[in-house]
């Protein structure tokens, strides 16, 4: 399924998904991840700022974002 989220290249260094641990091109895996991202700062599916953790959401405009 097409996913605009995977177009976002400027993701936060704390963003994690399981695909990152086994796929060469991490963005390929998004179709399977079912949205199961987590933030490495708190190991939750929401960030330190309370917002959701997602490739499309974890962008530089978040207060918690780190390059």
Partner 1 sequence: MAKNAWPAADKRDLIGERISRLDGPVKATGHAKYAYDMNRPGMLYVRLVWAPYGAAKIQSIDTSAAKAIKGVAGVWNEMNEGDEIVHAGQIVATVAATSEEIAQEAWRAVKVAYEVKQPQMNDTVLENADEKEQRDEIPDAATVDKAYADAEVKIDGHYGLAPITHCCMEAHGQFAEMKDGDQYIWPSTQNVSAYAAGLTDAAGLPASQIHVDCQYMGGGFGSKFSSDQWGAICSRISKETGKPVKLMLERDQELMVAGARPSAFANVKAGATKDGKITVFDSTCWGSGGMGTSRGLGVPYVFGNVPNIRRVARNVRTNRGSQRAWRAPGHPQACLVTMAALDDLAAAANMDALEFFLKNLDLTERPDVYREELQIAADMIGYKEKAHLRGDSGDGPVKRGLGISIHMWGGGGHKSECNCTINPDGSVSVALGTQDLGTGTRTVVGIVTAETLGLPLKRVQVNIGKDQYPPSGASGGSTTVGGVSSSSRDAATNALNMLLEKVAPSLGVPVDQLEAWDGKIQVIGDPSKSVTWEKACSMLGQIPITGKGSKPTSDGTELDNSGVGGVQMADVSVDTETGRVTINEFVAVQDCGLIIDLKTAESQVYGAMIMGVTYALYEEAIYDPITGRMLNADMEFYRLAGLADVGTLKVHMMTGPGYDERGVIGLGEPPVISPGAAISNAVANACGVRVPTLPLTPDRVIAALEQGGKLA
Beta bridge partners of 52: 46
Q: How far is the CB of 1 from ligand SF4 (least distance, A)?
A: 23
Under the binding rule (CB under 8 A), the answer on residue 38 touching partner 1 is yes
- Where does this chain bind partner 1 (CB under 8 A)? 1-3, 16-19, 21-24, 29, 31-38, 40, 42-46, 50, 52-54, 57
- Where does this chain bind ligand SF4 (CB under 6 A)? 12, 14-15, 39, 41, 47-48, 53, 58, 62, 64-65
């Amino acid at each position: 399924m097409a996913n605009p989220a995977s177009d976002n290249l400027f993701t936060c260094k704390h963003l994690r998904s399981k695909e990152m641990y086994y796929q060469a091109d991490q963005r390929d895996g998004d179709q399977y991840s079912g949205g199961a991202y987590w933030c490495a700062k708190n190991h939750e599916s929401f960030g330190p700022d309370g917002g959701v953790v997602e490739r499309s959401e974890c962008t530089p405009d978040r207060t918690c974002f780190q390059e």
